[in-house]
Structure 1
Amino acid sequence: MTDRIVVAGAVYDQGRLLAARRSAPEEVAGRWELPGGKLEPGERPEDALVRELREELGVEAEPLDRIPGEWPVRPGLVLQVWTVRLLSGEPRPLEDHDDLRWLAPDESDTVDWLDQDRPAVAEAVRILRELPRPAGGARD
């Protein structure tokens, strides 16, 4: 049997990365993650990510590139991560989260990331450091 996929987004905006603090389930509540969720049957990972970010954060987003690798969440469940550009909306913690933070690259270690998110976050921060800096703080 193949592992079920959980998708997450390294959401970038104005040179920062979005972190979301879990409110449930109890064993991960209070720890931070890249937002996302499980694929539904027959769903493409990129479509699942767009749907999950809409449900969890109330935003429209565009998956860009998959971060190489996948990480075990628990037996039978693996995490895949994409870089994501916000298209519209201001992220809000609507579902499964109780707080959000925008982190500059040098702030990425200021939250307690879930273990499976740590390698993806490290790569997302490396990519973020290489992105051109926004001019005047406006979205492109």
Structure 2
Amino acid sequence: MTRTFMAVVAGALHRADGRWLMHRRPEGKHHGGLWEFPGGKVEAYEIPVQSLVRELTEELGIVCHSEGCSPAGFAESEADSGQPAIVILLYTVSAWDGEPQALEGGAIGWFTPAEALELRKPPLDIHLAGQLFQNL
């Protein structure tokens, strides 16, 4: 049986000062120049939180532990032009080791919820940010 969607994880890292990390996608990539929650594809051998830990190490150079990751919401797209639908699982991340860096190009920044909502984002990240920040 073939999977009809691609599972993706994303991490909403937050600091004690109330700021949240957003990652700007490198120019030349799909959604280049837009801001998103960092993360990536869930591999077939991983459960989502394991994938999140791996992706945050690869993208940001930090080490987080699964017990510091809490499910916060999800967003999904429709399949389009032969591409599978995407389901993004968003986790809040409250603790990690290391200082986040943009290791795969682009940039990172720390934003208040109001600032994060105003950033130009891909459609699914607009939805995720709305879910995450609606009660803050």
TM over 0.5: yes
Cα distance change of structure 1 residues 24 and 61 upon mapping to structure 2, 3 Å threshold: farther
Structure 1 portions without partners, runs of 5+? 130-140
Equivalents in 2 of 1:73, 1:43: separation in Å? 23
Q: Does 1:107 align with 2:115?
A: yes
Aligned residue identity for 1:85:
S
Q: Does 1:94 align with 2:96?
A: no
Name the structure 2 match of 1:31.
Answer: 34
8 Å CA contact 2:12–2:90 kept in 1: the answer is yes
Two-structure CA RMSD over aligned residues (Å): 1.9
Q: How does 1:56-95 map to 2 (within 5 A)?
A: 56-62=59-65, 63-72=68-77, 75-76=83-84, 77-95=86-104
Structure 2 portions without partners, runs of 5+? none
Name the structure 2 match of 1:8.
Answer: 10
8 Å CA contact 1:18–1:100 kept in 2: the answer is yes
Cα distance change of structure 1 residues 73 and 26 upon mapping to structure 2, 3 Å threshold: farther
Cα distance change of structure 1 residues 31 and 73 upon mapping to structure 2, 3 Å threshold: farther
Q: CA deviation at 1:51?
A: 0.4
TM-score w.r.t. length of structure 2: 0.82
Pick the structure with more strand per residue: 1
**Structure 1 residues 64-112: Cα deviation after superposition (integer angstroms, max 9, x where no partner):** 32123332285422211111123211110001x4111101122123321
TM-score w.r.t. length of structure 1: 0.80
Percentage of pairs with the same residue: 33
